[in-house]
Structures are given as structure tokens and as C-alpha cells.
Amino acid sequence: MSKFLEKMNIANSLSDIKEPMSSMEDIFEIQEMYDIKSKEKEIEEELRKLGYIS
């Protein structure tokens, strides 16, 4: 995705970009993974506060 954005920044038009863009499904999967990891961190912090993990 970052490669695509770099080329988009340099290009004069979208037709100059030959690299395929990520699908919306891929983007949503990445966002979902980030949300899950954030939630895991919150739960882990709460468990530490309660003394269940160290």
C-alpha cells in the first residue's frame, strides 16, 4: 500500500500508476487485526492490574 501511495504522489495521473492497489477486503482485514491487537493489549493490562498475570 505504501508503494502505491508513493507512486501516486509522484504520478501526474492515475493512469501512470501500474501497481495494483489493495482490495477493500484486504484493508478491512488489516484494520480488524489492528483492532483485535488493541483489544488484546487492553485485556492484558486489565489482567495485570487484577494480578492474574505478571
pLDDT digits (tens, 9 = 90+) for 1-53: 677 777 777 888 878 878 777 888 988 888 899 899 999 999 999 999 999 99
Indicate the Cα dihedral angle 16, 19, 34, 28, nearest 10°: 80
Q: Give me the domain span that covers residue 46.
A: 21-54
DSSP state of 51: T
Within-domain flag for 4: no
Within-domain flag for 12: no
The secondary structure element, H or E, covering residue 47 is helix 24-50
Number of domains in the chain: 1
pTM of the model as a whole: 0.50
